[in-house]
Amino acid sequence: MPRRSSAAVLALLVLPAVGAVNAFGAVIGGTPGPGLAAVGPVSASDGFPVWYRDKNGMRLELCLAQADPLCPARGPLPDEQSPVSFPDNFPDESFYSLTSTSVGTANGGIARADLALEAAFVTGPVIPGDQRTFARVRFKVTNVQDNVDYTFTSPAGTKTLQTSKPGLIFDTEDIGIGGPGDFTGALGGRIGPFLTWDTFGSKSDPALLNDTYVGDGATPHKITGSPYGTNFFRVQGPGINPSSTVDACPTVDGPVSDCVETDLFTVQGKLATTAGVTADEVTYSRAADGAGFVDVFASSEGSTESIQVSDPSATKTFATTGLTGENGHYFARVAFTGATPPANVRVSNVGDVPASVKTVSVVDQLSGTATYNTGDQTLVVTAGSSDTFGKPALTATGYGQLTNGQLTVSGLQAPPVSVALTSAAGGSTTLPIQVSGPGRDPLPVVAQAGPDQTVQPGQTVTLDGSASSGPVATYAWTNADGIAMTTPDQAVTTFTAPSVPGAYTFTLTVSGPGGPSTASVVVTVEPAAPLVANAGPDQTVQRGTKVTLDGSRSTGAASYAWTQLVGTGDPVVTLSGAATVRPTFTFPFYKSPATNGPLRFQLVVTAVDGTVSSPSVVTITPTSDVVTVTLVRYANSRWRIDGTSSILAGQTVTAHYRRLTGTVIGRAVVDVTGAFSVRSAGPVPVPGDVVVVESQLGGVSAPVTVRIG
């Protein structure tokens, strides 16, 4: 087994969902780091990038060799006695860079920091195609005070956290997620530039093997490389220092009891010895006489890597040829012989030891245009292959095969943004659609006068034409009976219902493209109804929900007035729309058993002539919550009673010994998830005893037998 530092072991925990921030600590604020500069080609042997490069130009590779004593931190191998091989004998996590430290805190606690550029697998076990990399910054402190700020300073910047579990801060930030084969997400994390021992670069530290490694992965050591100059780990907060007489942060002014720090870290990382190679694209072309070329596009480091292309088949169609490099791009055009191009080629960086090799299929290159004419609704795809000799069949996905390099699709009312084109020789491309032809006419205006209405004499009536569609230029309301309207030239207007019962027709005319357009609405004025207030039926509701009062059963009403009848201990609620037919309010969560009762509301309506009705009262009664006890245990002279409430109200629950009127064991408050947990000393139970829990909101649990021990 390889040696493994204690700080490294901390990093080798079960992975959370990559690309998220997972914390047992409330994040108050943070300072992001500068990230990394580039990610290298993907290794053909394990599917991970062969290196990451920081903004200082340093490149690190995965540090996971089975017998490498300077790469101690990694996941276990299925067979530790055999060499690393993918996927059968490969760790489920490993590191490009890992920097860790810890320092003692007050009350026997410990503060830890782990900064890592990590390679792992999304679902946990080693699965080809499931490879992911991410930049991790993790802080953990035990035995600290709750609900106060603690500021963490590390080589990755600063962050302020609070506990969200008693006495514990545990904050993990993982940055880097993408589709299969996309390892660029980690570039945006806090890792970078890479941290090293402060002796790295001098080639004088034998432990670093002539600067092949940035640290030995196990020995605490001073470091360098922080972009903020904070090459230390510091935690500041109330009572963090284990000794009130020792200044644990000599570089900081202030009380010694509020700070601890260390500048010693374990550092693991190995300089990349290979540059790798990516075969970006390999295409072929053939002229009408059959003469052909293979065009090879590749990428690697700089412009001096030794990149070659060869034909791996038994019947060689071309000799091994070198690629020319510039700014990380490499290219070669190679003439091939024979009747057909090679099926695939091998692109190698022979300067790597062992050589980095990628085998890639050779396909034809496609080019063309796709046009759409709005006048005749016709899509025309015109395309060709670089193989003008073989003339492979071309297909526009979803539309069919091209004939003599062209495809016409008629009657297409809505074209896509692009057309995918494929070749029988393996090539593919996407053609953006170029649009021509006349523009579409704007929508015609259509008048909408609203639904018919039935009203009382003297009532204010609102006519609403705002549902009219199209680019309306003007509105005009008219009425054959000469009824005056407040704003007849607006979408919405009002009038006073006449005293004479009957049906009155109002016409709305709108102007605009395709107009004018007209619509009518009939307002029926009924004989005056007797003035009666009706506050609606009584309701039973859940606390915290929105309640709607309904006075629509009232008759003869021109206006409405709702008020709350506040009894002793009742909370006062805010009625929204107290002068409307259907006001609303939110039924409150109660904090005292004395205010658990219903609420009462009164409605008074007024007629057009000012007559006031007798009041009508409605009662709104809250439901009790459902209390479920999931655990009752007495051990080590302490009770633990866990359960849930159906209402997430923050209410208090009380646990009773043996019966509802029995001794109170303890109380707890229901949290935002509906859970509660009572912890107390209380009476000493005997086998067979039960516990009953009652809620401040009226719920009572079934008796639950105590588990002793």
User: pLDDT digits over 232-267, tens only?
Assistant: 999 999 989 988 788 889 878 776 779 999 999 999
The confidence score (pLDDT) of residue 165 equals 87
pLDDT, one tens digit per residue, over 523-577 is: 999 887 889 999 999 999 987 789 999 999 998 888 999 999 998 888 899 999 9
Q: For residue 6, give the H/E element and its range.
A: helix 6-11
Answer yes or no: are the C-beta atoms of 691 and 629 closer than 8 Å.
Answer: yes
Degrees, nearest 5: CA angle 427-430-436: 140
**b vs e for 584-611, b when ≥16 Cβ sit within 10 Å of the residue's Cβ?**
ebebbbbeeeeebebbbbebbbbbbeee
pLDDT at 339: 85
Exposed, middle or buried by CB within 10 Å (0-12, 13-18, 19+), for 177?
middle
The pLDDT assigned to 180 comes to 62
Whether the upstream peptide bond of residue 354 has omega within 30° of 0, thus cis, is yes
First to last CA, the chain: 40
| Dist. CA 259–CA 247, nearest whole Å | 8
pLDDT one-digit tens code per residue, 312-353: 999 999 999 999 999 999 999 999 998 899 999 999 999 998
- pTM comes to 0.60
- Amino acid letter, 125: P
Amino acid 207: pLDDT: 87
C-alpha closest to that of 607 among 443, 459, 400: 459
The position carrying tokens 């139970």 is 685
Q: What is the pLDDT of residues 628-650, one digit of tens each?
A: 999 999 998 999 999 999 887 67
Q: How confident is the model at residue 588 (pLDDT cuts 50, 70, 90)?
A: confident
Question: At 434, is the pLDDT very low, low, confident or very high (cuts 50, 70, 90)?
Answer: very high
The pLDDT value recorded for residue 89 is 94
- Whether the predicted pLDDT of 469 surpasses 80: yes
Give the pLDDT score at 178: 62
State the Cα–Cα distance between residues 169 and 22, nearest whole angstrom.
11
In three-state secondary structure terms, 185 is: helix
